[in-house]
A and B are shown apart, each in its own frame.
Chain A
Amino acid sequence: MKIHEYQAKELMQARGIAVPMGRPATTVDEAVAAVRPLIEASGNPVVVVKSQIHAGGRGKGRFVEHPDVAGVNVVTAGIDGGVEAAEAAVRSLAEKMLGSTLVTIQTGPEGKTVNRLYIEQGIDIARELYLSVLLDRAISRNIVMASTEGGTEIEVVAAETPEKILREGIDPAFGMLDFQAARIASGLGLEGDAHRNGVKFVKALTRAAVELDTDLVEINPLVVTTEGTVMALDGKMSFEANALYRHPDVQEMRDLSEEDPAETEASEHDLSFIKLDGTIGCMVNGAGLAMATMDIIKYVGGEPANFLDVGGGATADKVAAAFKIITKDPNVKGIFINIFGGIMRCDTIAEGVVSAVKEVGLEVPLVVRLEGTNVDLGKRILDESGLDLVSADDMKDGAQKILELTR
């Protein structure tokens, strides 16, 4: 689960991690009201107006409605004009940004609507660095990755100058040790106060990552100020779904407006669903088989409309819910149900499909491939239902049949 930058910074600040002062705003007036307290508290006449969306690349992103406005804007009007000038500039920006569509390299061409802004104090930056905490699957431990190339995408650094990436594995029995944090701070070229602050920052960040069960914390850039403070200028946090149950405060930060409504509905039914751009809807049991079903549709020349795993213990109701989610997508020109019943019985699937079709109707072709537990009973239920469907012998046969029917 992803959260916004301002929420990540709230969580960080509560755990002793240095972040700039800032205030979230959902209206123009709130944005303007944030300016004076920030300038007075920080003593810095510069403020920054940042779009809050669940995607990166905001600084270089532009608004569809206002192509001259970036996703993140540094407001310098206060340097010469004082607080009132800064407020006027923030008002003008907030009016354009709120409710408009921001397109960045990560949003896709359709972009994302900006519903919230984060107004932050200006920072006098001496250096921009990179720091993240994530799982290294090869060693089954979290690692800290750090780099002097702040502000650049880490994938680019990894590909072009891999020697510039520092790594420290975190032993779960001990946590991040002092000498490891010091090694990172030294590797980043920090000295004096900045070194001390860097060590503190790295230790606090790794502690927070483990405590909060994040699957990624990325600070890019991590900045060193002209006074030697080390702080998170940006902050990205995402959380491991399996551990959310023990973090109710984090769960409350979920922003449903940032998620695909069909995916949200699916998760309410405990279905694993991902919307794709194709025309053939899929309903499958098991994640691996669901992926393989998408692959085989593509292999025979079609395009899958979704990934959908109904899971191992699906009931007829769950199957019916899945069927409705698929048929709601206007792009779907046909549906392929592919089941290898193990624990999931074929008759359960058949009953769910029949009841869903009775309820919502069936306006597109349907191909069903059933194999495994109670396959004969499942086929009989489908036959006797009088549904207009086509049976398939195996996955490839099914994929070819649904493709022909949708052409």
Chain B
Amino acid sequence: MSVLIDKDTDVIVQGMGKTGTFHTDKAIAYGTRMVGAVHPSRAGETEVFEGETDHSGVPGRDDRYRVELPIYRSVAEAVAETGATASVVYVPPPFAADAIMEAADAALDVVICITEGIPVTDMVRAKRFLEDKATRLVGPNCPGVITPAECKIGIMPGYIHTPGRIGVVSRSGTLTYEAVFQLTNNGLGQTTAIGIGGDPVNGTNFIDCLAMFNDDPVTEGVIMIGEIGGTAEEEAAEWIAANMRKPVAGFIAGTTAPAGKRMGHAGAIISGGKGTAADKIAALKAAGVVVAPTPTDMGAAMLQAMEAAGRA
């Protein structure tokens, strides 16, 4: 078990530029079931992927892979032909929100948008469009989602992950890698790692992920990695205090960030006195979350939370 994606998830890719093609290749090497691509002007063609298998991924495969990926005119056509339930979006920023809405219109279960730099106005519209749809959006501006040794959708390096007991949810890409790697090294491993992205308007939020992990029988604990800006971490802390049955560890980046400066991510900015790391850390601690004092201690904080809950 896991959340969002597993070994049976069939995935299509929207956006077959340089980045999309590169990461589709990596996903196939990992063992992800990539079943099609969407590219209107290349519909009817196939894109061939071949190379050496990434054995940190899905077990029991040959040392080399070769996949002829069919290209479709639209998401609807790709879904009709392949039965895919998930898509990953690498479409450039000016067109990415439309790609998300197209995927929702085709009734996919989950759309994972990697694209960084989508205008907020576009995401506000896309989010409005998704309101009455069943499709779950993850991202944008995120590393993606991985269920180790089953399915990798996104740009994260596969080999730092290992199947295990902890659900990971994070606003930041490389900090997720840091946390995942520490959980791999201390033996806890991951059930599913979800990057929710660093933009102010995103699809899936912390609470959505916490709820999924809470209900997932295999996930024994959760680590959430937040950063300055907004109040998503404070809202998550309230939800944890009221609902969470599993131990939670956390880390918040940006303790030293000055107010009014956007720290790389569009969403990471302290404005109007709101969104400071101190507020977020206090809220998480009050909810019983073990907060790592430094990013080097994230794995240790998770272990400590598991021990305190008698699950170590």
- Measuring CB to CB, which residues of chain A are less than 8 angstroms from any residue of chain B? 135, 137-138, 140-142, 154-155, 158-159, 171-173, 210, 213, 215, 240-243, 245-246, 272, 274, 276, 284-292, 294-299, 304, 307, 309, 312-313, 340-343, 371-373, 394-397
Task: List residues 139-166 of chain B with CB under 8 A from any CB of chain A.
Answer: 143, 155-157, 160
B120/A289 in contact, CB under 8 A: no
B83 at the interface (CB under 8 A from A): no
B60 CB contacts on chain A under 8 angstroms: none
A307/B257 in contact, CB under 8 A: yes
Additional 19 contacts, C-beta under 8 A, given A295-B256, A309-B264, A341-B157: A137-B232, A142-B124, A240-B119, A242-B266, A272-B264, A286-B174, A286-B264, A288-B173, A289-B178, A290-B264, A291-B256, A312-B155, A340-B178, A342-B156, A342-B157, A343-B155, A371-B181, A394-B296, A395-B296
B108 at the interface (CB under 8 A from A): no
Q: What are 6 A-B interface contacts by the 8 Å CB criterion?
A: A135-B120, A295-B256, A313-B19, A340-B174, A341-B157, A372-B181
A299 CB contacts on chain B under 8 angstroms: 255, 293-294
A137/B172 in contact, CB under 8 A: no
Query: Could you tell me the distance between the alpha carbons of A272 and B172 in the complex, rounded to whole angstroms?
Result: 15
A173 CB contacts on chain B under 8 angstroms: 125, 128
Given the known interface contacts A288-B174, A342-B157, A373-B157, the answer about A158 and B200 at a Cβ–Cβ threshold of 8 Å is no
B295/A295 in contact, CB under 8 A: yes
- Measuring CB to CB, which residues of chain B are less than 8 angstroms from any residue of chain A? 19, 93-94, 117-125, 127-128, 143, 155-157, 160, 170-178, 181, 198, 200-201, 225, 227-228, 230-232, 235, 251, 253-258, 261-268, 272-273, 277, 293-297
Query: Could you tell me the distance between the alpha carbons of A307 and B19 in the complex, rounded to whole angstroms?
Result: 26
Given the known interface contacts A135-B200, A286-B174, the answer about A291 and B120 at a Cβ–Cβ threshold of 8 Å is no
Among candidates A155, A210, A295, A342, residue contacting B177 with C-beta atoms closer than 8 Å: A342
Most chain A CB within a 10 A radius of its CB, from B231, B235, B254: B254
Residue of A nearest to B266 (CB): A242
Query: Could you tell me the distance between the alpha carbons of A122 and B201 in the complex, rounded to whole angstroms?
Result: 41
A342 CB contacts on chain B under 8 angstroms: 143, 155-157, 173-174, 177
B176 CB contacts on chain A under 8 angstroms: 288
A241 CB contacts on chain B under 8 angstroms: 262, 266
A135 CB contacts on chain B under 8 angstroms: 120, 124, 200-201
In the complex, what's the smallest C-beta–C-beta distance from B262 to chain A, in angstroms? 8
In the complex, what's the smallest C-beta–C-beta distance from B251 to chain A, in angstroms? 8
B200 CB contacts on chain A under 8 angstroms: 135, 137
Query: Could you tell me the distance between the alpha carbons of A371 and B266 in the complex, rounded to whole angstroms?
Result: 26
In the complex, what's the smallest C-beta–C-beta distance from B114 to chain A, in angstroms? 10
Given the known interface contacts A240-B119, A291-B263, the answer about A372 and B157 at a Cβ–Cβ threshold of 8 Å is yes
B268 CB contacts on chain A under 8 angstroms: 287-288, 291
A274/B261 in contact, CB under 8 A: yes
B295 CB contacts on chain A under 8 angstroms: 289, 292, 295-296, 395
Query: Could you tell me the distance between the alpha carbons of A172 and B201 in the complex, rounded to whole angstroms?
Result: 13
B227/A288 in contact, CB under 8 A: yes
B265 CB contacts on chain A under 8 angstroms: 287-288
A290 CB contacts on chain B under 8 angstroms: 263-264
Most chain B CB within a 10 A radius of its CB, from A140, A291, A294, A394: A291
